A and B are shown apart, each in its own frame.
Chain A
Amino acid sequence: MTHGSVPPRVLKIAIVLAFVFNVLAFLVMVHTTPIIFTLFMFVGPPIFVVAFGLLVAAVLADLKTKQLL
């Protein structure tokens, strides 16, 4: 993830998605209603998976740039 190899925008999107995931999870734990939990159940995991996927993609791109892959 050296500067220039991975657009920081990708990592910023990952951070924003992780932030949204955490806010949803926080809502579930502070004010649990069936609707909030259902929303979290279906929206939360995909958001986290996308965020994590972006992070992994950034790491792989970085390793390729350094010719370690």
Chain B
Amino acid sequence: MTRLSAAAFLVLVTPVAVAAIDEGVPLPHGWIGTTSEWVRGFGIAFALLNLVLLAFTWRSLRAGTITGTTRGWLFVSVGLVPVMVAFFSFAHGLEASATVSACGSCHVMTPFVRDLHDLKSDTLAAKHFKNRYIREDQCYTCHSDYGLGGTIKAKMAGLGHVWRNTVGRYEIPIKIAEPYPNTRCLGCHAESQKFLNAAGHPKAELHNLVDGAVSCIACHGPAHPEQKKEARR
């Protein structure tokens, strides 16, 4: 009974602890954290719980006889709880791998991420980041297409990035794999009054933007700073 109480305490308290991490901004009254923080907290709690359960199962097996209790431990620790752990791990991992810090974890991306935080920078990416035109996951938001297909394509491309970074198969300066599609810009900007009423966006020419005949970057770039020697391997 005591073990069960301890396990229940662990599962319930860990997400609360993770959700209570101070973000430096005053939070509204009654704030209990985001869904992501709870997913991460439950994931940590279930993983720890399962490690404890596995230890009990191992000890139970070492006793020599396989009792009903041992069967129970085996079913829960090898068959049941790992499914929960897998669910939370994938949910958290997929989300965490879209953050700016995840992109910046590769050394070659350092100049790009540093530029985002540079108050003097006027690159397109820095403007979007510093003014919070995109609230979070700025790299991922601009470098993935809209919809489920865009997410899948971006994740597959991400696997390629991890592989090339790990084995060192990339070339400096880093270049975008394909010409940047205007549809990613238009997904946010196309319906805004500032865009529609801008002198530089005559309605007669809008089809050129949609078709990709004229690139948004051509007028509003550069998107990122010129790469210097520090980005080299």
B-binding residues in A (CB < 8 A)? 1-3, 6, 8, 11-12, 14-15, 18-19, 21-23, 25-26, 28-30, 32-35, 37-38, 40-41, 44-45, 48, 51-52, 55
Contacts and interface: CB of A to CB of B under 8 A. Distances in A.
B155 to A, nearest CB: 10
B136 to A, nearest CB: 15
A29 B43 CA distance: 7
A30 B44 CA distance: 7
Contacts of A41: 90, 93
Contact of A22 (B51, B65, B105): B51
Given A11-B66, A19-B51, A34-B106, 6 more contacts: A3-B65, A15-B74, A15-B78, A22-B47, A22-B82, A34-B97
Contacts, number: 107
A21 B85 contact: yes
Contacts of B75: 55
19 contacts: A6-B66, A11-B61, A14-B78, A15-B58, A18-B54, A21-B82, A21-B85, A22-B47, A25-B85, A26-B44, A29-B40, A32-B92, A34-B102, A34-B162, A35-B105, A35-B162, A40-B89, A40-B93, A52-B82
Contact of B86 (A11, A25, A34, A38): A25
B149 interface: no
A28 B93 contact: yes
B162 A44 contact: no
B43 to A, nearest CB: 4
Closest 8 interchain pairs by CB? A32-B96, A37-B93, A25-B89, A26-B47, A29-B43, A1-B66, A18-B78, A38-B162
Contact of A12 (B58, B71, B105, B159): B58
Interface string B20-51: 00000000000000000000100110011011
A9 to B, nearest CB: 10
Given A15-B57, A15-B61, A52 B78 contact: yes
A41 B92 CA distance: 12
B26 to A, nearest CB: 27
Tell which of A26, A29, A45 has the most Cβ of chain B within 10 Å: A29
Contacts of B85: 21-22, 25
Interface residues of B, number: 41
A33 B102 contact: yes
B138 interface: no
A22 B50 contact: yes
B52 to A, nearest CB: 10
A44 B96 CA distance: 17
B111 interface: no
A29 B89 contact: yes
Contacts of A34: 97, 102, 105-106, 158, 161-162
